[in-house]
Amino acid sequence: MKILVLAALAAVLVSPAFADGPIAVTLKDHRFSPSTITVKANTPTVLSITNEDASAEEFDSTSLKVEKVITGNSRGDVHLRPLAPGKYPFMGEYHSDTAQGVVIAQ
């Protein structure tokens, strides 16, 4: 039990974006924040993406197998499949010069 608590505490300290509920991601000025998102490997996760820009964006990732248009000033949830440990880059397709990020499954 003690070990479990310590492990959980360590997990929380090591990775702030580590969560069991939906992970909040914000898009502002065509940049994702956080742009590095850590998720638990082999566990389904939900990303809750808020687009604070006025224009629409397409959250796109071939490695995550996700394509979702999020219109300006709105929010969209994306269900991620259980991921094998690794790095999964994503981008905002309409502003890919700045809108870049990565999901790290560990």
Partner 1 sequence: MLATLLIVFREVIEAGLIVGIVLAATKGVARRGIWVSYGVAAGVIGACLVATFAGEIASFFQGAGQEIFDASVLVLAVCMLAWHNVWMAGHGRAMAHELKTVGAAVKAGNRSLIALAVVVGIAVLREGSEVVLFLYGIASQGGTSNVAMLAGGALGLAAGAGVTALMYFGLLTIPAGKLFSVTSWLITLLAAGMAAQAILFLQQAGYLEYLTGTVWDTSWLLSQDSILGRLLHTLIGYNDAPNGAQLAVYAVTIAAIVGLTRWERARHPRGGTIPSPA
Of 23, 37, 78, 103, the one binding partner 1 (CB under 8 A) is: 78
- Nearer of residues 38 and 99 to partner 1, judged by Cβ: 99
27 lines the binding site for partner 1 (CB under 8 A): no
Residues numbered 43 to 62 that lie near partner 1 (CB under 8 A) are 44, 46, 54-58, 62
User: Which range binds partner 1 by CB under 8 A, 3-11, 12-20, 32-40, 73-81?
Assistant: 73-81
Of 33, 68, 100, 102, the one binding partner 1 (CB under 8 A) is: 68
66 lines the binding site for partner 1 (CB under 8 A): yes
Listing DSSP states for the chain in one string gives -HHHHHHHHHHHHH-TT--SSPEEEEEETTEEESSEEEE-TTS-EEEEEEE-SSS-EEEEETTTTEEEEE-TTEEEEEEEPP--SEEEEEEEGGGTTT-EEEEEE-
